[in-house]
Amino acid sequence: MKTVSERFLGGEEGEYVVKEVDRVMLHDGNAPLIFDDMEGEDIWDPDAVTSVVDHFCPPSTSERANFVKRLREFVEEKGITDHVEFQGICHQVMCEGRALPGELVAGIDSHSTTYGALGAFGIGFGSSDTVEILKKGKTWFRVPETLRVEISEGKDGTDIALSMLEKIRYEANYKTIEFVDKVGLDMDDRLTVANMAAETGAKAAFFPPDEITRRYLEDFGMKSDVEIPSTEEERCVKRVDISVKEPLVAVPHKPYNVKSLSRVSGKDIDQVFIGSCASGRLSDLRKAADILEDEEVHPDVRLLVTPASKRIEEKALKEGIIEKLVNAGAVILNSSCGPCPGIDKGLLAEDERCIATQNRNYPGRMGEGEVYLASAEVCALSAVEGFIPEEVRR
Amino acid sequence: MRCRARVFGHDITLDEIHPGKYFSLDPERVVQGLMAGIEPEFHESVQEDDVIVAGRYFGMGSGRESGAWAIQLAGIRVVVAESFSRYMFRNCVNRGIWPLEVKGILDKVSEKDMLDVYLKKGFVILEDGEELSFEPFPPKMKKIIKSNITPRNDDVR
């Protein structure tokens, strides 16, 4: 039987193949590098391209404002029909009624693995590869080996993802991670896990589409009957079992430097960030609001919250989640990348410490200082206490 | 090709190779960011035909091509590492830079050693004369690159 990677890419494991893509995602953070190369060139199928402004949204410098302006002009000139601004972070936007199970999606960003939560095959590319994909609708791939990750216990997507990073580190570099979800995770949690799979170096991350996928797609008026069975275990290079029993925290400066919460508790916190393409979904905001309700953010802490999309923000407003967060002292930022990659709205000073729901804590990621990674619950509690808590009250 | 080695460690992420704050379309600004997450003054001492030598997993994390662009702008044509992230590998190829996977290189090379790199034959001669080999690009991949699916690296063609 074929592996999932062989189904999506054709050919056999280890082989170099040329394959057509179904969809392309561009964002303002990397698209500026393609403008010159695309001059005078047509896009093979402008309707298959989504353009998202989320990195410089709104821009904090005139140079960045020019990038966004040029992207709008590019969209107009090339006849791209799907351009979104102030609608959300690109990967969330792609998972709100765009990417479908069974599709091969090329994104100009390393976290394009996220679409695997929906049973699509999301693969990230640099700008030169993206130029060729836009012109020809296809590119070359090496058909990757498969690493199987079985999730048998765990409640929170971030905790499951951190456990995965601790166990795999970079072992999935150039490989596909296939998840066997024995827990029945919410789509929000699957999106977090597939997103953070990028930190292992994985080419793609994949949850086989199931009833949970179909219910999620129905919310967007989409249907999919595509069935893509998991790769047989004998054809996987390795199996990793994930069973999360306690909250986890990644300490600086690698996402795989994972420790149990109790081992890092007590560290003072200057900033808390709940957001990024790894988190900031409705279930994350709800968990944070449950903790922050009738509490106050510690006076020495700044709590920044970014809903992953405008749609999520609207739902959180209706549900009273935003009100609870604001009343506790949270600052709600518009849906964008913001402080996670050190772009704007919340960079750290020297020696400052942030705990965040994001996917990366590399040196310099958020400016100066250091970043710890944890679930929305641990982050919200840190905001109340002013330090990393010992345990999560349930 | 004779190159001067500029040595970095294992597990150097793209955010260190090219911090996000140097993202720009101005080549001068881009090249200033090269390796700035580790050595902010690196761009001042880098010379054309220097070779970056690193350990395992060079360029993990972000897929921003500004990292490979900065390497290209500095005139570096070869990066030798024990392994590369998928993004760094592809971005280097597309920018005309050779990403060479040479096992055990990091422990055997010191800063500013002179290396002789034989791209087509697939080996590197270290300063003390030791020869380390690497797998040349697979023929199928070369063929794909020749077919213009990946545009830039004339050397690989």
pLDDT confidence of B94, banded at 50, 70, 90?
A: confident
Alpha helices in chain A, H assignment, sequence order: 4-9, 62-78, 90-94, 127-136, 157-168, 187-196, 211-218, 261-264, 282-292, 310-318, 321-328, 376-385
- pLDDT at residue B136 in the model: 82
User: What is the total residue count of chain A?
Assistant: 394
- pLDDT at residue B153 in the model: 56
Separation in Å, CA A307 to CA A45, A89, A90, A259, A290:
31, 9, 12, 27, 16
| Last-in-domain residue among A197, A222, A242 | A242
- pLDDT at residue A374 in the model: 98
Give domain status of residue A31, yes or no.
yes
- pLDDT at residue B150 in the model: 62
- Is residue A45 located within the same domain as residue A189? yes
A316: domain CATH number?
Answer: 3.30.499.10
Lowest mean pLDDT among A161-165, A204-208, B31-35, B136-140: B136-140
| Last-in-domain residue among A242, A271, A305 | A242
Is the confidence at residue B149, as pLDDT, over 80? no
Segment holding B144, helix H or strand E: helix B139-146
- Is residue A286 located within the same domain as residue A228? no
- Is residue A88 located within the same domain as residue A31? yes
Cβ within 8 Å, pair B149-A138: yes
Query: What is the C-alpha to C-alpha distance for residues A131 and A150, in angstroms, rounded to an integer?
Result: 36
ipTM: 0.94
Residues of A with CB below 8 A from B24's CB? 63
Which DSSP string do the residues of A2-14 spell out, in sequence order? --HHHHHH-S-TT
Closest-CA residue of A relative to B141 is: A16
Separation in Å, CA A258 to CA A148, A386, B95:
20, 21, 35
- pLDDT at residue B96 in the model: 84
Q: Does A129 touch chain B (CB under 8 A)?
A: yes
pLDDT confidence of B140, banded at 50, 70, 90?
A: confident
The SS3 call for residue B131 is strand
Cβ within 8 Å, pair B62-A110: yes
Give domain status of residue A295, yes or no.
yes
pLDDT confidence of B95, banded at 50, 70, 90?
A: confident
For residue A35, give the DSSP letter: T
Which DSSP string do the residues of B80-118 spell out, in sequence order? EES-B-HHHHHHHHHTT-EEEE-TT-GGG--TT-EEEEE
Can you list the residues of chain A whose pLDDT is less than 70? 394
- Is residue A225 located within the same domain as residue A261? no
- pLDDT at residue B145 in the model: 64
Query: What is the C-alpha to C-alpha distance for residues A238 and A258, in angstroms, rounded to an integer?
Result: 21
Nearest CB partner across the interface for A109, out of B63, B138, B144: B63
Which domains are present in chain B?
2-146 (3.20.19.10)
- pLDDT at residue A25 in the model: 98
Q: Does A140 touch chain B (CB under 8 A)?
A: yes
Cβ(A361)–Cβ(A264) under 8 Å? no
Q: Does B72 touch chain A (CB under 8 A)?
A: no
Which A residues, 100 through 119, put their C-beta within 8 Å of a C-beta on chain B?
Answer: 108-110
Give domain status of residue A105, yes or no.
yes
Cβ within 8 Å, pair A16-B87: no
Give domain status of residue A172, yes or no.
yes
Q: Does B90 touch chain A (CB under 8 A)?
A: yes
Q: Does A175 touch chain B (CB under 8 A)?
A: no
- pLDDT at residue A178 in the model: 98
Residues 6+ apart with CB under 8 A from A289: A316, A320, A321, A324, A325, A380
| Last-in-domain residue among A220, A242, A264 | A242
Cβ within 8 Å, pair A136-B149: yes
Separation in Å, CA A333 to CA A191, A326, B51:
21, 11, 43
Q: What number of other Cβ atoms are within 10 A of residue A283's Cβ?
A: 18
- pLDDT at residue B157 in the model: 43
Range of the domain at A375: 252-385
Cβ within 8 Å, pair B150-A16: no
Among A110, A160, A119, A159, residue whose Cα is nearest residue A337: A110
Q: Does A131 touch chain B (CB under 8 A)?
A: yes
